[in-house]
Amino acid sequence: MKKISEAVETFIEGHQGLRFCFHHGLLNLSQLARFLRPSIEAQTHKEVTESAVLMNLSRLSRRTVPAPRSHEEKLVLDKVSVQSGLCSATLLKTPESHLELNRVFQRIQSRNGFVTVTEGIREITMIVEAENLQLLLGALSAAPRIVHRNLASVGMTFDSRYLKVKGILHQLLEEVALQNINVIEVTSTATEFCVFLEQADVQLAFDAIFNRFGRR
């Protein structure tokens, strides 16, 4: 079983942003202890108090925590693109909804239209261009649980070498969150990641992601 001190040090060492702030003394350790406690409990498999986490953070702060290494591989995206004028419908996952969505998918795909489907345990979401929303809704025997209009997406592709780098998708979502943008939906494949958000936010999201991760 991992000790609290080991878990705290592992967490700080493994997070580039935290390590940078910790190295330069930019953090309120009491707030950090409160934030880290659930993660430390997950690593140590036991209940942990904030004071115990704080004590270990204080000990660590008296040592020299190295700044993020300059040779650590920086994420550079191969491509960042925008798709505007989208809508989504979320419905319960049933054999009927599967069949209906498959029919819609084939019809839109035959037109070379934009369509993507995400499937969870209980729900399925289909995202289409606004011009195909009525086609989608008209094909359903049951009303969707949720419909989002005026959506857009920021799509990102990256090299497969990043698949072994920890926290890649977190970095991308963090950049969007720092702009106070609400993410409606996400989709991904091995080397592609796409966030769906309100149309009004897409330019800000694109600029933030491209300015930090875009290939120059």
Please check whether residues 163 and 192 belong to one and the same domain.
Answer: yes
Residue 89 lies in a domain: yes
Please check whether residues 95 and 155 belong to one and the same domain.
Answer: yes
Please check whether residues 95 and 195 belong to one and the same domain.
Answer: yes
- Name which of 76, 57, 56, 60 is nearest 157 in CA terms: 76
Total domains in the chain come to: 2
The pLDDT score that the predictor gives to residue 215 is 75
pLDDT digits (tens, 9 = 90+) for 68-122: 554 456 889 999 999 999 999 999 999 999 999 999 999 999 989 999 999 999 9
- pLDDT score of 67 more than 60: no
Please check whether residues 93 and 122 belong to one and the same domain.
Answer: yes
The pLDDT score that the predictor gives to residue 71 is 47
Calpha distance 201→211 (Å, rounded): 16
Residue 66 lies in a domain: no
Please check whether residues 104 and 202 belong to one and the same domain.
Answer: yes
Residue 24 pLDDT class (50, 70, 90 cuts):
confident
The pLDDT score that the predictor gives to residue 84 is 97
CATH number of the domain that residue 155 is part of: 3.30.2130.10
Please check whether residues 167 and 104 belong to one and the same domain.
Answer: yes
Q: CB 149: neighbour CB atoms within 10 A?
A: 13
92-120 burial: b if 16+ Cβ within 10 Å, else e: eeeeebeebbeebbeebeeeeebbbebee
The pLDDT score that the predictor gives to residue 68 is 52
Please check whether residues 37 and 112 belong to one and the same domain.
Answer: no
Residue 74 lies in a domain: no
Calpha distance 5→53 (Å, rounded): 8
- Average pLDDT in the 24-33 region? 86
For the chain, state the CA radius of gyration. 22
Residue 70 lies in a domain: no
Residue 67 lies in a domain: no
Residue 191 lies in a domain: yes
The pLDDT score that the predictor gives to residue 165 is 84
The pLDDT score that the predictor gives to residue 18 is 77
Residue 158 lies in a domain: yes
- Kindly report the average pLDDT of the chain as a whole number: 89
Please check whether residues 96 and 135 belong to one and the same domain.
Answer: yes
- Average pLDDT in the 136-153 region? 95
Please check whether residues 94 and 139 belong to one and the same domain.
Answer: yes
Which residue range(s) make up the domain with 9? 4-61
Please check whether residues 90 and 55 belong to one and the same domain.
Answer: no
Please check whether residues 17 and 87 belong to one and the same domain.
Answer: no
Select the more confidently predicted residue: 153 or 74: 153
pLDDT digits (tens, 9 = 90+) for 162-207: 998 878 898 899 889 878 899 999 999 999 999 999 999 999 999 9
65-84 burial: b if 16+ Cβ within 10 Å, else e: beeeeeeeeeeebeebeebe
Please check whether residues 13 and 105 belong to one and the same domain.
Answer: no
